[in-house]
Homo-oligomer: A and B are copies of this chain.
Amino acid sequence: MPTSPPTLADVAERAGVSRQTVSNAVNNPGLLREDTLVRVQDAIAELGYLPNRAARNLRTRASHLIGLRINPVQEGTANALMDRFVHSLVETSGAVGYHVMLFAGDGENPLAGYDGLLRSTTVDAFVVTDTYLGNPQTAWLAGRRAPFVAFGRPWDDPSAAHPWVDVDGAAGAEMATVHLIDKGHQRIAWIGWRKDSFIGEDRRSGWTRAMHAHGLSTTALACRVEDTVSSGGEASAKLLDEAAPTAFVCASDTLAMGVLHTLYLRGLAPGRDIAVIGFDDSQVAQVVHPGLSSVRQPLEELAVEVVRALEGLLGHPPHVGPGVLLAPTLELRASG
Protein backbone atom coordinates (compact mmCIF):
# COMPACT_ATOMS: atom_id res chain seq x y z
CA MET A 1 0.00 0.00 0.00
CA PRO A 2 1.28 3.42 -0.89
CA THR A 3 0.38 5.03 2.43
CA SER A 4 -1.53 3.91 5.46
CA PRO A 5 -5.31 4.09 5.17
CA PRO A 6 -7.24 6.99 6.69
CA THR A 7 -8.28 6.70 10.32
CA LEU A 8 -11.15 7.99 12.32
CA ALA A 9 -9.06 11.02 13.21
CA ASP A 10 -8.50 11.89 9.57
CA VAL A 11 -12.20 11.80 8.89
CA ALA A 12 -12.95 13.79 12.03
CA GLU A 13 -10.54 16.52 11.06
CA ARG A 14 -11.90 16.73 7.55
CA ALA A 15 -15.49 16.89 8.73
CA GLY A 16 -14.68 19.27 11.53
CA VAL A 17 -16.03 17.02 14.26
CA SER A 18 -14.55 14.82 16.95
CA ARG A 19 -13.51 11.22 16.46
CA GLN A 20 -16.40 9.92 18.50
CA THR A 21 -18.85 11.63 16.26
CA VAL A 22 -17.37 9.87 13.29
CA SER A 23 -17.58 6.59 15.15
CA ASN A 24 -21.21 7.29 15.86
CA ALA A 25 -21.84 8.16 12.25
CA VAL A 26 -20.60 4.72 11.37
CA ASN A 27 -22.16 2.68 14.15
CA ASN A 28 -25.15 4.70 15.37
CA PRO A 29 -26.05 7.13 12.62
CA GLY A 30 -29.38 7.74 14.31
CA LEU A 31 -27.64 9.69 17.05
CA LEU A 32 -26.38 12.42 14.75
CA ARG A 33 -28.17 15.48 13.55
CA GLU A 34 -29.04 15.27 9.87
CA ASP A 35 -26.57 17.83 8.59
CA THR A 36 -23.70 16.58 10.75
CA LEU A 37 -24.29 13.07 9.53
CA VAL A 38 -24.19 14.16 5.92
CA ARG A 39 -21.00 16.11 6.48
CA VAL A 40 -19.30 13.16 8.14
CA GLN A 41 -20.51 10.73 5.51
CA ASP A 42 -19.14 12.98 2.81
CA ALA A 43 -15.78 13.05 4.50
CA ILE A 44 -15.85 9.27 4.85
CA ALA A 45 -16.61 8.87 1.17
CA GLU A 46 -13.99 11.36 0.06
CA LEU A 47 -11.29 9.71 2.10
CA GLY A 48 -12.47 6.20 1.36
CA TYR A 49 -12.46 5.52 5.07
CA LEU A 50 -13.20 2.07 6.43
CA PRO A 51 -12.76 1.20 10.10
CA ASN A 52 -9.56 -0.62 10.90
CA ARG A 53 -10.47 -4.19 11.68
CA ALA A 54 -7.80 -4.90 14.24
CA ALA A 55 -8.65 -1.84 16.28
CA ARG A 56 -12.33 -2.56 16.15
CA ASN A 57 -11.73 -6.19 17.03
CA LEU A 58 -9.60 -5.27 19.99
CA ARG A 59 -12.11 -2.84 21.28
CA THR A 60 -15.24 -4.89 20.75
CA ARG A 61 -13.63 -8.19 21.65
CA ALA A 62 -14.93 -9.81 18.52
CA SER A 63 -13.19 -10.82 15.35
CA HIS A 64 -16.17 -11.31 13.09
CA LEU A 65 -14.43 -14.44 11.92
CA ILE A 66 -16.02 -17.87 11.77
CA GLY A 67 -13.62 -20.78 11.99
CA LEU A 68 -14.15 -23.77 9.74
CA ARG A 69 -11.90 -26.78 9.83
CA ILE A 70 -11.37 -28.49 6.55
CA ASN A 71 -10.17 -31.99 5.94
CA PRO A 72 -8.15 -33.30 3.04
CA VAL A 73 -10.06 -34.05 -0.12
CA GLN A 74 -10.99 -37.70 -0.35
CA GLU A 75 -9.44 -38.79 -3.59
CA GLY A 76 -11.11 -41.63 -5.39
CA THR A 77 -14.56 -40.81 -4.06
CA ALA A 78 -17.35 -38.64 -5.33
CA ASN A 79 -17.61 -36.68 -2.10
CA ALA A 80 -17.78 -33.01 -2.82
CA LEU A 81 -20.19 -31.54 -0.36
CA MET A 82 -17.69 -29.20 1.18
CA ASP A 83 -17.05 -27.18 -1.92
CA ARG A 84 -20.68 -26.26 -2.26
CA PHE A 85 -21.23 -25.81 1.44
CA VAL A 86 -18.19 -23.64 1.95
CA HIS A 87 -19.18 -21.36 -0.85
CA SER A 88 -22.69 -20.99 0.44
CA LEU A 89 -21.41 -20.34 3.92
CA VAL A 90 -19.00 -17.68 2.74
CA GLU A 91 -21.72 -15.92 0.79
CA THR A 92 -24.29 -16.07 3.52
CA SER A 93 -22.04 -15.10 6.39
CA GLY A 94 -20.47 -12.34 4.34
CA ALA A 95 -23.88 -10.77 3.97
CA VAL A 96 -24.12 -10.31 7.73
CA GLY A 97 -20.58 -9.12 8.30
CA TYR A 98 -18.77 -12.35 9.02
CA HIS A 99 -15.88 -13.90 7.21
CA VAL A 100 -14.99 -17.56 7.09
CA MET A 101 -11.50 -18.48 8.20
CA LEU A 102 -10.21 -21.92 7.37
CA PHE A 103 -7.88 -24.04 9.37
CA ALA A 104 -6.56 -27.50 8.81
CA GLY A 105 -7.37 -30.61 10.75
CA ASP A 106 -4.51 -32.96 11.27
CA GLY A 107 -6.63 -36.08 11.27
CA GLU A 108 -4.92 -37.39 14.36
CA ASN A 109 -6.30 -35.04 16.93
CA PRO A 110 -9.68 -33.62 15.93
CA LEU A 111 -9.40 -30.99 18.63
CA ALA A 112 -6.16 -29.58 17.30
CA GLY A 113 -6.60 -26.05 16.15
CA TYR A 114 -9.85 -25.30 17.93
CA ASP A 115 -8.25 -24.59 21.24
CA GLY A 116 -5.64 -22.15 20.04
CA LEU A 117 -8.06 -20.17 17.93
CA LEU A 118 -10.32 -19.82 20.90
CA ARG A 119 -7.64 -18.82 23.38
CA SER A 120 -6.14 -16.27 21.04
CA THR A 121 -9.64 -14.93 20.30
CA THR A 122 -8.92 -15.33 16.61
CA VAL A 123 -12.45 -16.46 15.82
CA ASP A 124 -15.81 -15.69 17.34
CA ALA A 125 -17.32 -19.07 16.64
CA PHE A 126 -16.92 -22.29 14.74
CA VAL A 127 -18.91 -24.22 12.23
CA VAL A 128 -18.28 -27.89 12.89
CA THR A 129 -18.95 -30.18 9.98
CA ASP A 130 -17.47 -33.59 10.55
CA THR A 131 -19.81 -34.60 13.28
CA TYR A 132 -19.92 -38.15 11.99
CA LEU A 133 -16.55 -39.11 13.41
CA GLY A 134 -17.87 -39.82 16.83
CA ASN A 135 -17.96 -36.17 17.48
CA PRO A 136 -15.38 -35.32 20.12
CA GLN A 137 -15.28 -31.71 18.98
CA THR A 138 -18.84 -30.87 19.75
CA ALA A 139 -18.66 -32.26 23.26
CA TRP A 140 -15.35 -30.55 23.86
CA LEU A 141 -16.46 -27.23 22.44
CA ALA A 142 -19.68 -27.37 24.41
CA GLY A 143 -17.72 -28.09 27.58
CA ARG A 144 -15.51 -25.14 26.83
CA ARG A 145 -18.60 -23.02 26.29
CA ALA A 146 -17.29 -22.08 22.88
CA PRO A 147 -19.88 -20.82 20.43
CA PHE A 148 -20.37 -23.19 17.53
CA VAL A 149 -22.98 -24.48 15.15
CA ALA A 150 -22.89 -28.06 13.96
CA PHE A 151 -23.67 -29.24 10.46
CA GLY A 152 -24.97 -32.61 11.58
CA ARG A 153 -27.23 -33.77 14.35
CA PRO A 154 -25.89 -34.75 17.80
CA TRP A 155 -26.59 -38.40 17.04
CA ASP A 156 -25.00 -39.79 20.14
CA ASP A 157 -26.47 -37.24 22.49
CA PRO A 158 -29.95 -36.07 21.57
CA SER A 159 -30.01 -33.88 24.65
CA ALA A 160 -27.06 -31.81 23.44
CA ALA A 161 -27.83 -28.15 23.81
CA HIS A 162 -25.81 -26.72 20.95
CA PRO A 163 -27.41 -25.40 17.79
CA TRP A 164 -27.31 -27.68 14.79
CA VAL A 165 -28.54 -27.89 11.25
CA ASP A 166 -28.81 -31.10 9.33
CA VAL A 167 -30.29 -32.68 6.23
CA ASP A 168 -32.92 -35.37 6.60
CA GLY A 169 -31.12 -38.28 5.02
CA ALA A 170 -33.93 -40.69 5.78
CA ALA A 171 -36.34 -38.47 3.90
CA GLY A 172 -33.93 -38.37 0.98
CA ALA A 173 -33.60 -42.13 0.74
CA GLU A 174 -37.33 -42.47 1.17
CA MET A 175 -38.00 -40.01 -1.59
CA ALA A 176 -35.68 -41.91 -3.92
CA THR A 177 -37.26 -45.24 -3.02
CA VAL A 178 -40.82 -44.01 -3.38
CA HIS A 179 -39.92 -42.55 -6.75
CA LEU A 180 -38.71 -45.97 -7.88
CA ILE A 181 -41.79 -47.67 -6.48
CA ASP A 182 -43.95 -45.22 -8.37
CA LYS A 183 -42.12 -46.19 -11.53
CA GLY A 184 -43.13 -49.79 -10.89
CA HIS A 185 -40.07 -51.21 -9.18
CA GLN A 186 -40.68 -53.70 -6.39
CA ARG A 187 -37.31 -55.25 -5.73
CA ILE A 188 -35.30 -52.21 -4.75
CA ALA A 189 -31.92 -52.83 -3.16
CA TRP A 190 -30.03 -50.68 -0.67
CA ILE A 191 -26.27 -50.30 -0.62
CA GLY A 192 -25.18 -48.41 2.42
CA TRP A 193 -22.35 -47.81 4.83
CA ARG A 194 -21.21 -49.85 7.72
CA LYS A 195 -23.46 -50.02 10.69
CA ASP A 196 -21.40 -47.69 12.87
CA SER A 197 -22.30 -44.75 10.67
CA PHE A 198 -25.25 -42.86 12.11
CA ILE A 199 -25.74 -41.07 8.85
CA GLY A 200 -25.69 -44.31 6.92
CA GLU A 201 -28.25 -45.93 9.20
CA ASP A 202 -30.44 -42.86 8.99
CA ARG A 203 -30.48 -42.93 5.21
CA ARG A 204 -31.08 -46.65 5.24
CA SER A 205 -34.11 -46.20 7.46
CA GLY A 206 -35.71 -44.07 4.76
CA TRP A 207 -35.40 -46.92 2.30
CA THR A 208 -36.82 -49.40 4.81
CA ARG A 209 -39.68 -47.07 5.65
CA ALA A 210 -40.66 -46.58 2.02
CA MET A 211 -40.48 -50.28 1.23
CA HIS A 212 -42.55 -51.32 4.21
CA ALA A 213 -45.06 -48.54 3.70
CA HIS A 214 -45.73 -50.02 0.28
CA GLY A 215 -45.89 -53.58 1.52
CA LEU A 216 -42.57 -54.52 -0.08
CA SER A 217 -40.05 -56.84 1.50
CA THR A 218 -36.51 -55.69 2.21
CA THR A 219 -35.18 -59.16 2.97
CA ALA A 220 -31.82 -59.90 1.37
CA LEU A 221 -31.99 -56.61 -0.51
CA ALA A 222 -29.57 -54.60 1.60
CA CYS A 223 -25.90 -54.60 2.33
CA ARG A 224 -23.45 -52.43 4.19
CA VAL A 225 -19.98 -51.77 2.81
CA GLU A 226 -17.07 -49.34 2.78
CA ASP A 227 -17.66 -46.11 0.91
CA THR A 228 -15.61 -46.92 -2.17
CA VAL A 229 -16.43 -47.43 -5.83
CA SER A 230 -15.18 -51.00 -5.80
CA SER A 231 -17.25 -51.90 -2.73
CA GLY A 232 -20.31 -50.56 -4.50
CA GLY A 233 -19.44 -52.59 -7.54
CA GLU A 234 -18.96 -55.81 -5.65
CA ALA A 235 -22.03 -55.33 -3.51
CA SER A 236 -24.24 -54.70 -6.50
CA ALA A 237 -22.87 -57.73 -8.33
CA LYS A 238 -23.63 -59.91 -5.34
CA LEU A 239 -27.11 -58.48 -4.92
CA LEU A 240 -27.90 -58.92 -8.61
CA ASP A 241 -26.86 -62.55 -8.39
CA GLU A 242 -28.61 -63.39 -5.18
CA ALA A 243 -31.66 -61.17 -4.97
CA ALA A 244 -32.35 -59.97 -8.51
CA PRO A 245 -33.23 -56.36 -7.69
CA THR A 246 -34.45 -54.09 -10.47
CA ALA A 247 -33.24 -50.93 -8.80
CA PHE A 248 -30.58 -49.67 -6.39
CA VAL A 249 -30.64 -46.85 -3.90
CA CYS A 250 -27.19 -45.99 -2.56
CA ALA A 251 -25.93 -44.09 0.45
CA SER A 252 -23.50 -42.16 -1.73
CA ASP A 253 -22.67 -41.32 -5.31
CA THR A 254 -19.41 -43.17 -4.81
CA LEU A 255 -21.28 -46.41 -4.19
CA ALA A 256 -23.65 -45.66 -7.04
CA MET A 257 -20.70 -45.31 -9.39
CA GLY A 258 -19.71 -48.81 -8.39
CA VAL A 259 -23.18 -50.01 -9.30
CA LEU A 260 -22.96 -48.32 -12.71
CA HIS A 261 -19.66 -50.07 -13.20
CA THR A 262 -21.21 -53.47 -12.54
CA LEU A 263 -24.11 -52.72 -14.86
CA TYR A 264 -21.70 -51.75 -17.58
CA LEU A 265 -19.74 -54.97 -17.19
CA ARG A 266 -22.93 -56.96 -17.47
CA GLY A 267 -24.24 -55.07 -20.44
CA LEU A 268 -27.17 -53.68 -18.47
CA ALA A 269 -28.31 -50.15 -19.23
CA PRO A 270 -28.74 -47.87 -16.20
CA GLY A 271 -32.28 -46.55 -16.10
CA ARG A 272 -33.61 -48.89 -18.72
CA ASP A 273 -32.62 -52.29 -17.35
CA ILE A 274 -31.75 -51.37 -13.80
CA ALA A 275 -32.42 -48.10 -12.01
CA VAL A 276 -29.76 -46.48 -9.83
CA ILE A 277 -30.04 -43.53 -7.48
CA GLY A 278 -27.09 -42.09 -5.60
CA PHE A 279 -26.73 -39.60 -2.79
CA ASP A 280 -25.20 -36.09 -2.66
CA ASP A 281 -25.58 -34.98 -6.27
CA SER A 282 -21.85 -34.73 -6.77
CA GLN A 283 -20.25 -33.44 -9.93
CA VAL A 284 -19.66 -37.08 -10.78
CA ALA A 285 -23.41 -37.74 -10.81
CA GLN A 286 -23.86 -34.72 -13.04
CA VAL A 287 -21.34 -35.56 -15.72
CA VAL A 288 -21.26 -39.35 -15.83
CA HIS A 289 -22.99 -41.09 -18.70
CA PRO A 290 -25.97 -41.42 -18.87
CA GLY A 291 -26.55 -39.20 -15.85
CA LEU A 292 -26.85 -40.48 -12.30
CA SER A 293 -29.99 -39.62 -10.38
CA SER A 294 -29.11 -38.48 -6.89
CA VAL A 295 -30.46 -37.08 -3.67
CA ARG A 296 -29.27 -33.51 -3.37
CA GLN A 297 -28.60 -31.85 -0.07
CA PRO A 298 -29.86 -28.27 0.14
CA LEU A 299 -26.50 -26.85 1.15
CA GLU A 300 -27.33 -23.30 0.22
CA GLU A 301 -30.37 -23.33 2.45
CA LEU A 302 -28.35 -25.13 5.08
CA ALA A 303 -25.75 -22.38 5.11
CA VAL A 304 -28.51 -19.84 5.64
CA GLU A 305 -29.70 -21.74 8.69
CA VAL A 306 -26.17 -22.11 10.00
CA VAL A 307 -25.62 -18.39 9.77
CA ARG A 308 -28.96 -17.72 11.38
CA ALA A 309 -27.94 -19.95 14.28
CA LEU A 310 -24.57 -18.23 14.45
CA GLU A 311 -26.20 -14.85 14.69
CA GLY A 312 -28.34 -16.09 17.55
CA LEU A 313 -25.32 -17.51 19.31
CA LEU A 314 -23.33 -14.31 19.00
CA GLY A 315 -26.24 -12.00 19.73
CA HIS A 316 -26.91 -10.16 22.95
CA PRO A 317 -28.14 -12.03 24.75
CA PRO A 318 -27.06 -15.24 23.06
CA HIS A 319 -29.90 -17.31 21.79
CA VAL A 320 -29.89 -21.00 20.93
CA GLY A 321 -32.76 -22.15 18.78
CA PRO A 322 -33.88 -25.71 18.21
CA GLY A 323 -32.12 -27.95 15.70
CA VAL A 324 -33.11 -27.51 12.09
CA LEU A 325 -33.71 -30.45 9.79
CA LEU A 326 -33.90 -29.70 6.09
CA ALA A 327 -35.43 -31.82 3.38
CA PRO A 328 -33.24 -32.87 0.46
CA THR A 329 -34.45 -32.96 -3.12
CA LEU A 330 -34.26 -35.63 -5.77
CA GLU A 331 -32.31 -34.83 -8.93
CA LEU A 332 -33.54 -37.16 -11.59
CA ARG A 333 -31.36 -38.15 -14.52
CA ALA A 334 -31.34 -41.06 -16.91
CA SER A 335 -30.21 -43.67 -14.37
CA GLY A 336 -33.42 -43.60 -12.41
- Indicate how many identical chains form the complex: 2
Q: Is A52 an interface residue (CB 8 A)?
A: yes
Q: Is A57 an interface residue (CB 8 A)?
A: yes
| Separation of A282 and B99 alpha carbons in the complex (Å) | 28
Contact of A90 among B63, B82, B99, B104 (CB under 8 A): B104
> CB-CB contacts of A68-95 with B at 8 A, as 1s and 0s?
0011110111111011101100110010
Within 8 Å CB of A72, what residues of B?
87
| Among A10-18, A117-125, A169-177, A214-222, the stretch in contact with B | A117-125
Q: Is A284 an interface residue (CB 8 A)?
A: yes
Contact of A65 among B101, B286, B289 (CB under 8 A): B101
Once A1-B146, A257-B288 are accepted as A-B contacts, the answer to whether A94 and B87 lie under 8 Å apart by CB is no
Binding site for B on A (CB under 8 A): 1-2, 4-5, 48-55, 57-58, 61, 63, 65, 70-73, 75-80, 82-84, 86-87, 90-91, 94, 99-104, 116, 118-122, 144-146, 229, 254, 257, 260-261, 264, 282-284, 286-290
Contact sample, A vs B, 14 pairs, CB 8 Å cutoff: A1-B144, A1-B146, A54-B54, A54-B121, A65-B101, A73-B83, A75-B283, A77-B287, A80-B83, A80-B283, A83-B83, A94-B103, A257-B289, A261-B290
Known: A54-B57, A65-B101. 14 other contacts (CB 8 A): A2-B144, A5-B121, A52-B120, A70-B86, A73-B83, A76-B283, A77-B287, A82-B83, A86-B102, A99-B101, A99-B103, A100-B102, A257-B288, A261-B289
